């Protein structure tokens, strides 16, 4: 922890590696999201069906994907064959998904319909695995 003083204002600066920070944040997000979706399959399957019918949900999703993807790739441009590269990859996936959903909302709805329940369970399991891995790296290593 660094302490800096400027104009009689004391600032505490906690320095954390950006890769560890994103591993923790994405790890928690993906792990909780994956577990919740697998535990509540019926509710989440209904949410995906609603997503496929509602343009506002697609545009809301697009905005968040674009925003968080842009934040990650603006701050984290490292490529490596480990969790560091995975974070960058996930940032690009979020950004691309956000751009695609904004530009082609009907196509995004079509993808949601096509995924169906089988695709939903598969992606939920992938979220769980990625979240567990990133949480492990971010908090335990």
pLDDT of the residue at 80: 95
Burial, 34: exposed, middle or buried (Cβ in 10 Å; 0-12, 13-18, 19+)?
buried
Give the chain's largest Cα–Cα span.
Answer: 60
User: In the predicted model, is pLDDT for residue 130 greater than 80?
Assistant: yes
- Written as one string, the DSSP assignment of 31-42 is HHHHHHHHHTHH
| pLDDT band of 8, cuts 50, 70, 90 | low
- Per-residue pLDDT tens digits for 72-126: 999 999 999 999 999 999 999 999 999 999 999 999 999 888 877 678 889 999 9
pLDDT(12) > 80: no
Per-residue pLDDT band for 15 (boundaries 50, 70, 90) equals low
Q: Per-residue pLDDT tens for 16-37?
A: 799 999 999 999 999 999 999 9
CA distances from 137 to 25, 29, 113 (A): 11, 14, 34
Q: Give the separation between CA 86 and CA 123, rounded to whole angstroms.
A: 16
20 C-beta neighbours (distance < 10 Å), count: 17
């Amino acid at each position: 922890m660094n302490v800096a003083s400027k104009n009689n204002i004391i600032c505490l600066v906690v320095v954390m590696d950006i890769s560890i920070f994103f591993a923790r944040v994405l790890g928690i997000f993906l792990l909780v999201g994956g577990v919740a979706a697998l535990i509540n399959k019926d509710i989440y399957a209904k949410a995906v069906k609603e997503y496929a019918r509602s343009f506002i949900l697609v545009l809301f999703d697009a905005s968040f994907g674009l925003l968080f993807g842009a934040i990650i790739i603006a701050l984290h441009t490292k490529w490596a064959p480990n969790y560091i590269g995975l974070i960058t990859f996930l940032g690009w996936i979020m950004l691309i998904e956000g751009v695609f959903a904004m530009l082609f909302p009907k196509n995004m709805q079509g993808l949601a319909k096509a995924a169906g329940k089988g695709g939903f369970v598969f992606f939920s399991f992938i979220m769980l695995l990625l979240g567990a891995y990133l949480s492990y790296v971010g908090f335990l290593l």
